[in-house]
Structure 1
Amino acid sequence: MEPRTPFPRRIRWAAPVALCLVLVLAWLADWVSVQPLTGYPHHVADFVPLATAPLYAVLLLAPDGWSTVRRRAAAAAAASWTVTGVLALLPHRSAAGTWGLPETVALLALLARTARRAEPPPAAVALCAALGTAVVAAPLRMWHYNDLVNYAFALTVAVGTLLGLGCYLRALDARRARAVTAVRQSERLELARDLHDFVAHHVTGIVVQAQAARTIRESAPERVDTMLTGIEKAGLETLDSMRRLVRVLREEEGRAVRPGELYAALAELAADFSRGGGPDVTVRIDAAARRARLAPEVETSVQRAVQEALTNVRRHAPGAVTVAVRAALRAGQLAVEVRNDGPVDRAAAPAGGRGGFGLVGLRERAEAVGGSLTAGPTPEGGWQLTATFPVLDPRPDDAGMARSDA
């Protein structure tokens, strides 16, 4: 499924609640209009829109997994046109009723949703046309036509507005999907570049050791087994890395962290961040994490995660005073946390809890090497990024996870 433009959780909850309230108020308005207090004798047909209103409410408000947008839109349009046709042809109706305000509200909301989400585009166009014309034609159900032109004009404006909103959101969704795809592709290419560098290093070592083994096999045969063991180990590590990143293409850009220099690189990142006007950064690496061996592509992914987290602090939490970076070995995996105490700028922060395009790429990178990544607000009002990565040989710390500052 293509990514849709996310909205904050409060908005996602507020929209259905607001729709329910509007539908209830519209239903009550229709109910009042068909009562004898209006001064008109009422007819049983006046109650048809009231009776069918729950159908449209269900089609609009039911959970997404219940039915597809296309089926809901088709069912709503068919039901509306059926009711319009039957009521418009009745020979006797009172002048008290309306055409069905709750139905109109539901159809307009379904119109916007269909314009945004329905696939393929030709089906979306057809369904939007059916829904829009059903809304405009609904006043034909009324017995008196004095204000029919005014009703039709007002409903046409409403249809155009909701249709435009749906198309606008569809364009935003498409643009976000393209951006997410581009970021993921960029991360895949960067991972492939790292893999290329790692494989080239190990393959070169394998070739050199194989040549040396051939040279000394007669003069020092007892050393051949040791060399073959080294060749086997290097080959297995190379295959393991290739297995994680299969089908990844590359192009030359950027520079990966050198194997074994990860934590020095993190300390350098923290120092550069503070010197560049950012808050003080504390880097803590647990002893067990220092002893754990990481695949080169994992080391690069850790560095990228910390780098992106610090960048987000600068962009979205300008009020942060301190930033804490910690790496620890937990449950056989390396856990990396970047936490700041500054309030997040909600206007600039990624909406919806899934993060911006930078976090999308980081999540893609972490998952590609067998890890995971999450980001979100802390109870204290700051922001925290947490990433986990596999290690080659996790070993418990007998000293009880002793800490050392980098």
Structure 2
Amino acid sequence: MRRERFPALLVAAGCVLVWALDWITVEPPRAWAVLVCGAVVGAIALLPARAVRLPLDGRALLAAPLSLAATGAMLLPDRGTGGSWGLLESAALLVLLARCARHTDPPRVVPLGLLLWAAAAAAPLRMPSDAAAETAAFALTLAAAGAAGFGGYLRILDQRRARAVVAVREHERHELARDLHDFVAHHVTGIVVQAQAAQAIRETAPERLEPLLRSIERAGGETLDSMRRLVRVLREQDSGSVRPQDLLAELALLVAGRPGAALELAEPVRRVRLAPEVETSVHRLVQEALTNVTRHAPGARATRVRLATDGVRLTVEVDNGPAHDPGHRRGHVPPGGRGGLGLIGLRERVEAVDGRLAAGPLPDGGWRVTGVFPLLDGGGRGDGGPGGGLAGSNV
């Protein structure tokens, strides 16, 4: 929490220093107007949304006319002011201009931008010296162009990231849809075969019908559970996802390929039952997290992959401790790599199977990724069959 507050405190301290500079350099008879207007416009432009309950457009429509009105009042005969014209006020207007260029809807960007530019460029006219006022106004015009350009550049980056997020989510949905389709097709085929077998033994071995019907019922229930997830995702035939055939063995291979990594299994984990699409999501989470440790934290002392269960959920944790080399940045492992898009893809996949994902830095350095996944009903009594997930592994 302290780290999150530090940038805000830094901005507040900078505003106070600039306002104090206005206080020291401004001259009568309208010094109070410069100071008050600077404080008000600065508050409108820079305070967080929870403090100023106005949309960004509303802030611009309030701050710019207020600044222009103050400038007009100080242009009256004998109302000019020497010294500072209001540095904090101009800086706040430029920040507001950049924010509008980044976030405001396109139809309103140009008029709001022109209004804020006019307010910022006109403020130096409050000074009695025409030459100094013209120089400052020209400098602020250039600064306004830079602020608008910077905001527009950030707007383009936001749009690119939004498109990338959509692409990552769609990719994960497509892969998961294929996993689910394969699982459902496998179970439906099994149900058909068992139903045919039930018809065949109906007359010759009726005592074997009851367990066979129970097996059909269980397979049908598991298939319906997966179908409920399937309706939330899209199917793509050429997706390349492959379901691990033995999850614990696959995880052991992943961990063995990473120096300093260790796999920790609580004993009940070996007996849990997972839906195949959940197995695939667990495998993907561990694979992605280990890859990011190698890529972003090569100095990590050790990486731990831990699986535990409470009988209802499976918890998967991947964390790396502090680096050997103090020069490595502590807690800097990005949660999903690729500029954060990996985390978005992981979250999409985990939540699509009714799971939860969390990622964040550890107190002593390093990074932790935690996924919580649902077990199949009767998850602690699996037999390693279809949908049985982890049972039967010799890891």
Give TM-score, length-normalised by structure 1.
0.84
Aligned length: 376
Partner of 1:270: 255
Q: Distance in 2 between matches of 1:347 and 1:377?
A: 5
Q: CA deviation at 1:54?
A: 2.4
Partner of 1:5: none
For residues 1-400 of structure 1, the aligned pairs below 5 Å read 10=3, 13-35=5-27, 42-43=28-29, 45-65=30-50, 66-88=53-75, 90-96=76-82, 98-118=84-104, 120-251=105-236, 252-258=238-244, 261-271=246-256, 273-274=257-258, 279-330=259-310, 332-343=312-323, 349-350=333-334, 356-392=340-376, 393-395=378-380
Name the SS for the 2:85 alignment partner: coil
Q: CA deviation at 1:293?
A: 0.9
Distance 1:265 1:204, change over 3 A: same
Distance 1:228 1:355, change over 3 A: farther
Q: CA deviation at 1:321?
A: 3.8
Distance 1:170 1:184, change over 3 A: same
Alpha-carbon contact 1:305-1:362 (below 8 Å) kept: yes
Q: Distance in 2 between matches of 1:9 and 1:113?
A: 25
Distance 1:335 1:351, change over 3 A: closer
- Identify which range, 95-104 or 124-133, moves more after superposition: 95-104
Q: CA deviation at 1:336?
A: 0.9
Alpha-carbon contact 2:297-2:332 (below 8 Å) kept: no
Name the SS for the 2:232 alignment partner: coil
Identity of aligned residues (%): 52
Name the SS for the 2:130 alignment partner: coil
Letter matched to residue 223 of structure 2: T
Letter matched to residue 374 of structure 1: A
Q: What are the Cα deviations for residues 253-298 of structure 1, in whole angstroms up to 9, with x where unaligned? A: 3343345x11011112223x24xxxx13221221111111111111
Q: CA deviation at 1:81?
A: 2.1
Alpha-carbon contact 2:85-2:124 (below 8 Å) kept: yes
Name the SS for the 2:242 alignment partner: coil
Distance 1:62 1:30, change over 3 A: closer
Q: Distance in 1 between matches of 2:9 and 2:283?
A: 43
Distance 1:285 1:348, change over 3 A: closer
Give TM-score, length-normalised by structure 2.
0.86
Q: Distance in 2 between matches of 1:394 and 1:208?
A: 25
Q: CA deviation at 1:311?
A: 0.4
Q: Distance in 2 between matches of 1:165 and 1:326?
A: 44
Alpha-carbon contact 1:245-1:369 (below 8 Å) kept: no
Alpha-carbon contact 2:277-2:353 (below 8 Å) kept: yes
Q: Distance in 1 between matches of 2:99 and 2:106?
A: 13
Letter matched to residue 27 of structure 1: W
Name the SS for the 1:356 alignment partner: helix
Q: Distance in 2 between matches of 1:346 and 1:312?
A: 14
Alpha-carbon contact 2:332-2:361 (below 8 Å) kept: no
Q: Distance in 2 between matches of 1:212 and 1:365?
A: 37
Partner of 1:3: none
Q: CA deviation at 1:341?
A: 2.7
- Identify which range, 216-225 or 327-336, moves more after superposition: 216-225
Partner of 2:390: none
Q: CA deviation at 1:61?
A: 3.0
Gaps of 5+ in 1: 1-7, 36-41, 397-403
Q: Distance in 1 between matches of 2:339 and 2:26?
A: 50
Q: Distance in 2 between matches of 1:29 and 1:217?
A: 95
Q: Distance in 1 between matches of 2:260 and 2:336?
A: 29
Q: Distance in 1 between matches of 2:374 and 2:331?
A: 35
Distance 1:27 1:255, change over 3 A: closer
Q: What are the Cα deviations for residues 332-389 of structure 1, in whole angstroms up to 9, with x where unaligned? A: 3111111223536579843899972112211111111111122222233222221111
Q: Distance in 1 between matches of 2:337 and 2:261?
A: 24
Q: What are the Cα deviations for residues 1-43 of structure 1, in whole angstroms up to 9, with x where unaligned? A: xxxxxxx995x644433332332233223223344xxxxxx32
C-alpha RMSD of the superposition: 2.8
Alpha-carbon contact 1:202-1:234 (below 8 Å) kept: yes
- Identify which range, 304-313 or 340-349, moves more after superposition: 340-349
Name the SS for the 2:157 alignment partner: helix
Alpha-carbon contact 1:46-1:98 (below 8 Å) kept: no
